[in-house]
């Protein structure tokens, strides 16, 4: 894992934690959200969670298929619009009074 972390930036590598025991893991992840197999108190087992997730995906199959058809039509955007046309002039304008 240390070899892998050398390829990441300092911010990302600081987010990856390796625990030597469940006790140190529980300091970061509350037992209430962990299934029983990992020493948690969540009322469902890993198998029940997996089966429920699969059931939901099968029930919502059409929604997932529809999401795969959604995309941005970038070709329809006007190609002749420049940055200045879209956002205007950059800067602050003040009236200069000359005596």
Is 33 contained in some domain? yes
Write down the pLDDT at residue 29.
94
Percent of the chain whose pLDDT exceeds 90: 45
Coil, helix or strand for 76? helix
Confidence tier at 89 by pLDDT (50, 70, 90): low
Is 80 contained in some domain? no
Is 85 contained in some domain? no
Is 99 contained in some domain? no
Is 57 contained in some domain? yes
Please indicate, yes or no, whether the overall pTM of this predicted structure exceeds 0.75: no
Is 75 contained in some domain? no
19-48 pLDDT, tens digit each: 889 899 999 999 999 999 999 999 999 999
Percent of the chain whose pLDDT exceeds 70: 77
Q: Where are the alpha helices (DSSP H) in 1-99?
A: 2-6, 10-15, 22-26, 46-59, 61-68, 83-87
Is 40 contained in some domain? yes
Phi/psi of residue 91, nearest 5 degrees: 130, 175
Q: Is the pLDDT of residue 78 over 90?
A: no
What is the DSSP-derived secondary structure letter of residue 39? T
How many structural domains does the chain have?
1
Is 97 contained in some domain? no
Supply the range of the domain harboring residue 11: 2-66
């Amino acid at each position: 894992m240390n070899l892998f972390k050398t390829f990441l930036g300092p911010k990302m590598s600081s987010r990856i934690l390796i625990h030597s025991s469940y006790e140190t893991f529980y300091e970061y992840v509350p037992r209430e959200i962990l299934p029983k197999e990992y020493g948690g108190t969540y009322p469902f087992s890993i198998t029940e969670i997996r089966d429920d997730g699969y059931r939901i995906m099968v029930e919502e199959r059409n929604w997932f298929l529809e999401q795969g058809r959604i995309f941005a039509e970038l070709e329809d955007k006007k190609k002749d619009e420049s940055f200045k046309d879209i956002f205007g002039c950059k800067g602050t304008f003040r009236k200069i009074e000359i005596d």
